[in-house]
């Protein structure tokens, strides 16, 4: 995996063998950030990365100038890897939160400009994740909650749905608060 933009463009992230996370492909990540580049100035953004996995999305936002990126991951080994990699890359703007996303959301008191979630595609309750995120008062108006998911889900009928972009079998659904 590599960081594809910003001050750390080209830096690699290499999880240890046997790492239990499915990283977003560089192809899909590049497509996502091309969309976001056209809609956001990254400087001063506050971002929440749910289901941090390898930290690749959090690192990408941080590399592009987001002022603060919170990364929520419950698996101890993954959280430790993200924290270690953020330090190695000199990303002082990344804060690792080791917690279950569903426990974290109701206690979160921050507001964000972008909330990104890349849950395991087999996650029970994945279809209810947009509601769980948008019910909390943690997303600024007219800002995006972006959910990465597989082919088996479609959120086009959701009342807060804005658009979907697909890159191979990777889908990004965009939502805003209504």
Q: What is the pLDDT of residues 128-173, one digit of tens each?
A: 999 999 999 999 999 999 999 999 999 999 999 999 999 999 999 9
User: Number of C-alpha atoms within 13 angstroms, CB side, residue 18?
Assistant: 1
In this structure, the number of other CB atoms found within 10 A of the CB of residue 169 comes to 12
Note the pTM of the prediction, 2 decimals: 0.95
Residue closest to 47 by CA, chosen among 142, 138, 119, 113: 113
Which of 14-28, 37-51, 103-117, 157-171 is predicted least confidently?
14-28
* Distance set, CA 168 to CA 24, 106, 175 (Å): 11, 33, 21
CB neighbours of 49 closer than 8 A, spacing ≥ 6? 55, 57, 58, 61, 69, 70, 71, 72, 116, 117, 118
From CA 61, how far away is CA 49, in angstroms rounded?
Answer: 9
More confident call, 173 vs 24: 173
Q: Confidence band (pLDDT; 50, 70, 90) for 80? A: very high
The set of residues, in sequence order, having a beta carbon less than 8 Å from that of 97 and lying 6+ positions away, is 70, 71, 72, 73, 104
Give residue-wise pLDDT tens across range 51-71: 999 999 999 999 999 999 999
Helix (H, G, I), strand (E, B) or coil at 27: helix
Q: What domains lie within the chain, and their CATH numbers?
A: 30-175 (3.40.50.150)
Q: What is the mean pLDDT of residues 95-122?
A: 95
In degrees rounded to 5, what are phi and psi of residue 158? -65, 135
**pLDDT at residue 48 tops 90:** yes
């Amino acid at each position: 995996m590599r960081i594809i933009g910003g001050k750390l463009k080209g830096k690699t992230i290499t999880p240890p063998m046997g790492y239990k996370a499915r990283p977003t492909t560089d192809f899909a990540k590049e497509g996502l950030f091309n969309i976001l580049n056209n809609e956001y100035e990254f400087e001063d953004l506050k971002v929440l990365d749910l289901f941090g996995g390898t930290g690749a999305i959090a690192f990408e936002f941080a590399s592009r100038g987001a002022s603060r990126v919170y990364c929520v991951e419950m698996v101890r080994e993954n959280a430790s890897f993200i924290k270690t990699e953020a330090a190695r890359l000199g990303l002082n703007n990344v804060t690792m939160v080791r917690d279950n996303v569903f426990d974290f959301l109701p206690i979160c008191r921050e507001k964000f400009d972008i909330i990104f979630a890349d849950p395991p595609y087999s996650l029970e309750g994945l279809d209810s994740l947009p509601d769980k995120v948008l019910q909390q008062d943690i997303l600024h108006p007219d800002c995006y909650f972006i959910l990465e998911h597989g082919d088996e889900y479609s959120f086009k009928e959701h009342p807060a749905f804005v658009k979907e972009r697909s890159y191979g079998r990777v889908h990004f659904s965009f939502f805003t608060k209504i």
